[in-house]
Structure formats: C-alpha cells, structure tokens
Amino acid sequence: MATDVPIFRLNRAWVQEIRVSLVGRTILLCTLVNVFPSLLWSQDSPDFFRQNCMNCHTIGGGRLTGPDLKDVSERKDREWLIGFMMNPKSYLDSGDPYAIKILEESRNVPMPTLPGMTRERSENLLDLIDAESKLTESQFKGLQISNKPFNDADRKLGRDIFLGKHRLEAGGAACISCHSMHDVTTLGGGRLGPDLTNIYERLKGRKALSAWLVAPGTETMQPIFKNHPISNDEIHALVAYFEASAGESPAQPTSSRIALLFLGLMGSTAAVFGFDAIWKRRFYSVRQPLVDANSHQSSRSTKAHS
C-alpha cells in the first residue's frame, strides 16, 4: 500500500509532464504560429490595401479602373469574393458570368493577380472593406489627384519622362525601356509592356489613369515602382502626354523591334568597352597608389631594418 502511493504520484507527475511538454507546448506553438501572424496580417491590411488596391479601387469614392468596393459583400457572397481576390484570372477563364459582367463594366481591363494574396490576406482585406463600407467616410475614399489643366510644358515634360531624358525623381526605370508610343519610332521602345498610345482611354481618363500610376499594381510594374513611386508632378506630366496621344495609332512593332535589337547590340558592346575603361582607370586610381604605398612602406621598413 505504502509503495503504491509514490508510484501513483510519480505517474501523475509523469502524465502532467507530458501534458505540459507535448500538448501544452503544441497548443502554445500552434497559437503562436496561427494567431500571431494573422494578427500581424490584419494590422497590415490597411497598408496592404493602400499599396496594392487603392490605385484601382476606392471605398465609397466612385469607380477608378476597378469598381467602387463599398458594400461589395452585398453584391456577391463572401466565398466568391475571397476566391476572386486570390486569383481573378481563374474566374474569368472559367467563364463565370458575374466575373465577365464586372469585366465588361471595367472596359475589359482585368484585375491582375496580385503577388502575396493568400487566403488569409483575402479574408482580412474583405473584413477591412466591409468595415470601411459602414463608415460615412472611408480612409480609402480616394486619392488627391491634380485637376490643373494640362499645357504644352506638361506634355513635353511627360514625353521626356517617358523617354528617360528627364529622370524620374525617385529613380524608377524609364517607361521606354518596356513600352512603346505612337511618336517614339526612332528608338523603338520596349516590347515587354504594352504600347501606351491609347492608355488614356483604356484606363478611363484622367482620374483613373493618375490613380493607377500612383501605385502601379500589376506583376511587372509593381516591383519596379513600389519603392520608387512616381511623384504627383511626374504623374501630371505623363497623363498630359498620354491624353494628347489618345486617338493616335499605336507604334508599328516590326521596325522598332529591329531598331531595338541594334540598340541592344550597340548597348552591350558599349558596356563591354565601358567596363573595360572603368576597370583600367580603377586599377590605376585605386590599385596603383596602394601598390606605391606598399612599396614605399616595404622600402621604408627595409631601411629601418638595415
């Protein structure tokens, strides 16, 4: 009898030990792994919306490239909206009638599939949109966009920015490296992105195009401009240039492609020679003094020794 008790106690302690170490720790770990990041995600939602969605959507400020998202949950069910936000293309490809209807209403500009849209992030964004829809004035009602009339100086500056003659303040890449325009024939213009001659109409005028450029949200554009935003003055000038080109016919691709090929070849040849020259100069300007200093030092030290 007397021996039974300690064994029983020992067992209990043992069981408790397991509970604390395995179950307890597993629960603790799961909590940390699941709840903690979701807290972070949801805190991060307004910033994420501002960075990734506000260029195409307002909440209560009217349509931009995409529809106004105020009360979107009353138009479509939650599960559909979450899935659509994660992968809009798959809904369009499957011929979903509602997706096709909102695409037509957006002049056939599709919503891009945005990087980093996990299920959790979509859920949190929809919660944010629902909460903001209930406010009389959402923080996402819209951006402050210039409505100064355009003049010739604006259009010229816009063209220079497009061509890279005028450097973007924050250092984003020149548009011409990836886009062509109707009046940019001598240099060609890049083929990676679409021709922008008719972009003013395509993105539905000044307000929507300006908003789009505040935070370009597509796959290739976003990583380039996220940390190098185009300033308001630069957007004003670019939009002036795009407005003036609306209605022109887009650049002819073949001639510009050949021009670009030559330009590319010339560029890489120049780069090879350029690097060579720089390297040589570096050798003389950096290495030579080091070599000199070393040889002085060694001659001095040999003198000291002698």
What are the residues binding ligand HEC (CB under 6 A)?
A: 52-53, 55-57, 65-67, 69, 72, 75-76, 81, 84-85, 88, 99, 102-103, 106, 109-112, 114, 125, 172-173, 175, 177-179, 192-194, 196, 199, 202, 212-213, 217-221, 224, 230, 238
Neighbours of 126 (CB within 10 A): 18
Q: How far is the CB of 166 from ligand HEC (least distance, A)?
A: 11
182/38 Cα distance (integer angstroms): 48
Count of beta carbons in the 10 Å neighbourhood of residue 291 = 12
For the chain, the straight-line distance linking the first and the last C-alpha, in angstroms and rounded, comes to 94
Q: Give least dist CB 199 to ligand HEC, A.
A: 5
Are 136 and 126 contacting, i.e. CB atoms less than 8 angstroms apart? no
Burial class, 270, CB count within 10 angstroms (exposed 0-12 / middle 13-18 / buried 19+): exposed
> With the C-alpha atoms ordered 114, 119, 122, 128, is the resulting torsion angle positive or negative?
negative
When the beta carbons of 177 and 297 are compared against ligand HEC, the nearer one is: 177
CB of 295 to ligand HEC, least distance (A): 48
Closer by beta carbon to ligand HEC, 167 or else 287: 167
Q: How far is the CB of 265 from ligand HEC (least distance, A)?
A: 20
Compare residues 35 and 208 and give the one whose CB is closer to ligand HEC: 208
Measured from the CB atom, the residue of 271 and 278 that comes closer to ligand HEC is 271
Q: What single letter denotes the amino acid at residue 144?
A: Q
Closer residue to ligand HEC in complex, CB, 228/287 = 228
Q: Which residue has tokens 């349509």?
A: 63
Q: How far is the CB of 33 from ligand HEC (least distance, A)?
A: 24
Give the C-alpha separation, 107 to 123, whole Å.
27
For ligand HEC, give the closer residue by CB, 17 or 219.
219
Q: Nearer Cβ to ligand HEC, position 109 or 259?
A: 109
What CA–CA distance (Å, rounded) separates 182 from 137?
41
Distance CA 185, CA 181 (A): 8
Q: How far apart are CA 142 and CA 208, in angstroms?
A: 10
CB of 252 to ligand HEC, least distance (A): 18
> In the bound complex, what is the minimum distance in angstroms from residue 52's beta carbon to ligand HEC?
4
